[in-house]
């Protein structure tokens, strides 16, 4: 039992560190973890869930705004990008945030192809993060089910 | 003089300040549901009561500044601090700040602005309009702790001066701008209505209470 817990904990540590190293997460995610405790054990998962819902909504807005036959209202696209940039920043979704920065520039430049490319990338990226975090949360569950505690992972 | 001694006896150091220190009630305004969730948690974990609203308009409604009786008329729901995002559709955080500072009832409530953009002119504009502080997003626990300390310290000084002036009955000496409610000598009244601004009040208390 202990050997299993130890193994799972090591897996969890390595996985979490890799998410930071690969740029999926930044230190704002670490900040969110600080806000989680026994009284609010699912805080991080809840915030991220809201974030992913936000992604769906905002990407939908962007797609609709870019789909206008005729003139595209780039400021409308930009407004949604700005919101996504904000929420990705607040949860530590580093890659998504980075893409939003580029996306915003294309909006300001009224660059249609650039915007469409960014839209596709941002869609791929948030889904990739969602999968990675799901795997991370699953590891946490397994650790707890095996009778262990989820370790604090020191990124530095 | 005897006045000083009276104060020393009746106002023990820290006594007034810590006995009834209710949790700060913070009104957090942000159009992003993600940010609302985060700021709410940051404030709760810092032992604050929190009410979140999604827009400046809703904030004014809550305070009762839209002409109707707001929820915060109830003593329990009195707001001690407003934290608001800057960029919001409709009423911006800056617009909200102005409306609050224009209100004789609410101008004493400290307002903190949050923004994801580090624009100096924006920061200056907000501070000039009376914002207590400006937080760069993403907001961290250390930011909230710092703000809370700042607000608690200001409130403590408000209470100190209030209690001193009550004991010395300096009502007519102090430049009390006739404001809405009665001569507020209740210590619960954290938004000090008799004094024009907490910053100015600090210097008044320096003049009247050199013993502090």
Q: Is residue A83 part of a domain?
A: yes
List, for residues B147-192, the tens digit of each pLDDT value: 999 998 887 887 777 776 665 554 444 444 444 344 434 444 444 3
Q: Is residue B10 part of a domain?
A: no
User: DSSP character for B180?
Assistant: S
Q: Is residue B172 part of a domain?
A: no
Per-residue pLDDT at B161: 75
Ramachandran bin of A92, using left for φ above 0, alpha for ψ from -120 to 50, beta for the remaining angles = left
Strand B133-136 to B49-53 pairing: unpaired
Chain B residues 72-91 with a CB less than 8 Å from chain A: 87
Per-residue pLDDT at B170: 47
Mean pLDDT across A2-29: 96
List, for residues B30-59, the tens digit of each pLDDT value: 999 999 999 999 999 999 999 999 999 999
SS3 content of chain B, % helix, strand, coil (to 5): 45, 10, 40
Residue range of the domain that includes B90? 25-157
Q: Is B34 on the interface with A (CB under 8 A)?
A: yes
Cα distances (angstroms) measured from residue B94 to each of A156, B39, B101, B113, B196:
38, 19, 11, 8, 21
Q: Is residue A13 part of a domain?
A: yes
Of the partner residues B33, B87, B116, the one whose CB lies closest to the CB of residue A89: B116
Q: Which residues contact B65 (CB under 8 A, 6 or more apart)?
A: B99, B100, B103, B105, B106
Which residue from A minimizes the CA distance to B137?
A90
- What does residue B86 show for φ and ψ, rounded to 5 degrees? -80, -55
3-state DSSP assignment of residue B183: coil
List, for residues B100-137, the tens digit of each pLDDT value: 999 998 999 999 999 999 999 999 999 999 999 999 99
| A117 upstream amide cis, omega within 30 of 0 | no
Cα distances (angstroms) measured from residue A12 to each of A8, A20, A36, A151, A155:
6, 13, 17, 8, 12
Please say whether the beta carbons of B178 and B18 come within 8 A.
no
- Output the domain CATH number for residue B120: 3.40.50.2300
Cα R_g (chain B), whole angstroms: 18
Which residue from B minimizes the CA distance to A55?
B34
Task: Count structural domains, chain B.
Answer: 1
Q: Interface pTM (ipTM) of the complex?
A: 0.93
Q: Number of CB pairs < 8 Å for A and B?
A: 52
Q: Is residue B103 part of a domain?
A: yes
List, for residues A83-103, the tens digit of each pLDDT value: 999 999 999 999 999 999 999
Q: Is residue A89 part of a domain?
A: yes
Q: Is residue B212 part of a domain?
A: no
Please say whether the beta carbons of B129 and B100 come within 8 A.
no
Q: Is residue B119 part of a domain?
A: yes
Q: Is residue B85 part of a domain?
A: yes
Q: Is residue B18 part of a domain?
A: no
pLDDT of residue B8 exceeding 60: no
- pLDDT bin (cut points 50, 70, 90) of residue B65 is confident
pLDDT of residue B11 exceeding 50: no
Residue B164 or residue B76, greater confidence:
B164
Q: Is residue A70 part of a domain?
A: yes
Kindly tell me the burial class for residue B58, based on how many C-beta atoms sit within 10 Å of its own C-beta (0-12, 13-18, 19 or more): middle
Q: Which two tokens stand for residue A53?
A: 């819902």
Residue range of the domain that includes A64? 1-146
Lateral strand order in the sheet of B25-29: B49-53, B25-29, B81-85, B111-115, B133-136
Task: Count structural domains, chain A.
Answer: 1
Residues of chain A contacting residue B116, judged by C-beta atoms under 8 Å apart: 85-86, 89
Residue B8 or residue B36, greater confidence:
B36
- Output the domain CATH number for residue A91: 1.20.120.160
Q: Is residue B49 part of a domain?
A: yes
Mean pLDDT across B81-96: 96
Chain A residues 46-85 with a CB less than 8 Å from chain B: 46-47, 50-51, 54, 82-83, 85
């Amino acid at each position: 039992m202990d050997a299993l817990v130890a193994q799972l904990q090591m897996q969890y540590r390595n996985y979490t560190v890799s998410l930071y190293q690969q740029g999926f997460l930044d230190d704002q995610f670490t900040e969110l973890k600080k806000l989680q405790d026994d009284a609010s054990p699912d805080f991080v998962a809840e915030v991220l869930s809201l974030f992913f819902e936000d992604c769906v909504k905002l990407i939908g807005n962007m797609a609709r705004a870019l789909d206008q036959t005729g003139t595209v209202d780039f400021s409308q696209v930009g407004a949604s990008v700005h919101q996504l940039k904000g929420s990705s920043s607040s949860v530590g979704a580093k890659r998504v945030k980075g893409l939003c920065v580029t996306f915003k520039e294309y909006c300001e430049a009224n660059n249609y192809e650039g915007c469409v490319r960014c839209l596709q990338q941002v869609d791929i990226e948030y889904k990739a993060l969602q999968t990675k975090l799901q795997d991370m949360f699953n590891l946490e569950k397994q650790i707890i089910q095996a009778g262990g505690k989820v370790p604090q992972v020191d990124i530095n | 003089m005897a006045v000083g001694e009276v104060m020393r006896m009746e106002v023990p150091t820290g006594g007034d300040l810590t006995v009834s220190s209710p949790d700060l009630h913070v009104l957090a305004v942000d159009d992003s549901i993600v940010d609302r969730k985060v700021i709410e948690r940051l404030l709760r974990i810092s032992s604050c009561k929190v009410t979140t609203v999604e827009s400046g308009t809703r904030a004014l409604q809550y305070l009762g500044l839209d002409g109707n009786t707001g929820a915060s008329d109830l003593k329990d729901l009195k707001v001690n601090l407003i934290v608001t995002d800057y960029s919001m559709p409709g009423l911006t955080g800056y617009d909200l700040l102005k409306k609050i500072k224009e209100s004789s009832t609410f101008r004493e409530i400290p307002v903190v602005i949050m923004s994801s953009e580090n624009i100096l002119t924006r920061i200056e504009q907000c501070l000039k309009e009376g914002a207590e502080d400006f937080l760069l997003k993403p907001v961290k626990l250390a930011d909230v702790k710092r703000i809370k300390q700042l607000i608690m310290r200001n409130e403590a000084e408000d209470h100190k001066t209030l209690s001193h002036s009550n004991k010395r009955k300096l009502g007519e000496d102090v430049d009390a701008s006739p404001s809405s409610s009665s001569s507020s000598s209740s210590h619960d009244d954290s938004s000090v209505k008799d004094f024009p601004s907490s910053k100015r009040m600090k210097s008044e208390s320096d003049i009247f209470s050199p013993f502090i």
